[in-house]
Amino acid sequence: MIDSTEFRGKAAIVTGGGRGMGAAVAERLGQGGAAVVVNDVDAASASAVVERLRASGTEAIAVGGDVVSGTDVERMVRETVDRFGAVHILINNAGVLKPTPVIDIEEEEWDLVVGVNLKGTYLCSRAALPSMRAAGWGRIVNFSSTAGKNISTVGGAHYTAAKAGILGFTRHLAKESAEFGITVNSVCPGLIDTEMVRSTIDPERAKAYADSFPISRLGEPSEVAELVAFLASDRASYITGASLDINGGDLMI
């Protein structure tokens, strides 16, 4: 049973929260009592998620913006602090997946994929840190992937490189931030049943992958959301700099 008071008094930003795993995380944190800021480059999708959150009793606002834009990110954090007093929890979920082989990756596409996944994680973390330091408490959860530890199942090398970079960034920021009461961790999902995955591979290929996993199905966004909620809570207060796998046994190291 979900503790509806676990995140009471906490404000959480979820980037890329307009769909998929981000939306599931926003809903789960709201169920735990957090005030939730849903960010997405698609402002309409962020607003739709906020409508659902409010209908279930969660205090929530939508803030459209691109995580690759320092200006947009600073505005997102400023609006959060103005509305809720602080940023306590940051979920760096925003991501872009492209399956392009290296020989065919144009520079613009490389910059997009690495920018959204890796630069966005850095920009949002940097912007949220002053508020967390002032509060003496903070949780940053970054979205890496099994790609960060091996290679991507369906994405290209730019996606793999970005997700590996997130793991290094997570470790480094965790060491810098521990003295301020801030933990920084990564989750590493495998193949999760999201719109992004379904738009990248056809149903037959998705089934073939699922059948090859020890737990022979795709993961559910709600399952990833449970792991994220744990890392964002006081239950995980002695975990930092870690990368937690959730992949149905697809990658065991």
User: Is 159 a known active-site residue?
Assistant: yes
Cβ-proximal residues to 84 (8 Å cutoff; 6+ apart), any chain: 11, 35, 37, 59
Q: Each residue of 208-231: pLDDT tens digit?
A: 888 898 999 998 999 999 999 999
Q: What is the pLDDT of residues 114-125, one digit of tens each?
A: 999 999 999 999
- Taken in order of first residue, the domains within the chain and their CATH numbers are 11-238 (3.40.50.720)
pLDDT level of residue 27 (50, 70, 90 thresholds): very high
DSSP secondary structure, 168-179, as one string:
HHHHHHHHHHGG
36-75 pLDDT, tens per residue?
999 999 999 999 999 999 999 999 999 999 999 999 999 9
User: Across residues 104-109, what is the average pLDDT?
Assistant: 98
The mean of the pLDDT values for the chain is 96
Strand order in the sheet with 60-64: 60-64, 35-40, 11-14, 89-92, 138-143, 182-189, 243-246
Residues 6+ apart with CB under 8 A from 199: none
Q: In the prediction, which pLDDT does 203 show?
A: 87
* pTM reported for the whole predicted model: 0.96
Q: Which residues lie closer than 8 Å to 229 by C-beta, 6 or more apart?
A: 6, 25, 28, 29, 32
Residue 230 confidence (pLDDT): 98
Q: Residue 40 carries which side chain, given as an amino acid letter?
A: D
- Torsion sign across C-alpha atoms 93, 98, 102, 104: negative
Measure CA 55 to chain center.
Answer: 23
3-state secondary structure (DSSP) of residue 238: coil
- Rounded to 5 degrees, what are φ and ψ at 245? -85, 145
DSSP designation for 141 = E
What's residue 197's pLDDT?
82
**Catalytic option among 122, 159, 209, 238:** 159
Q: Both tokens of residue 22?
A: 């981000």
Residue type (1 letter), 82: D
Decide if pLDDT at 202 tops 90.
Answer: no
**The predicted structure's pLDDT at residue 102:** 97
Check: CB of residue 201 under 8 Å from CB of residue 220: no
Tokens coding 167: 């793991």
pLDDT number for residue 118: 98
Helix residue ranges per DSSP H, 17-156: 20-31, 43-55, 70-84, 107-114, 120-135
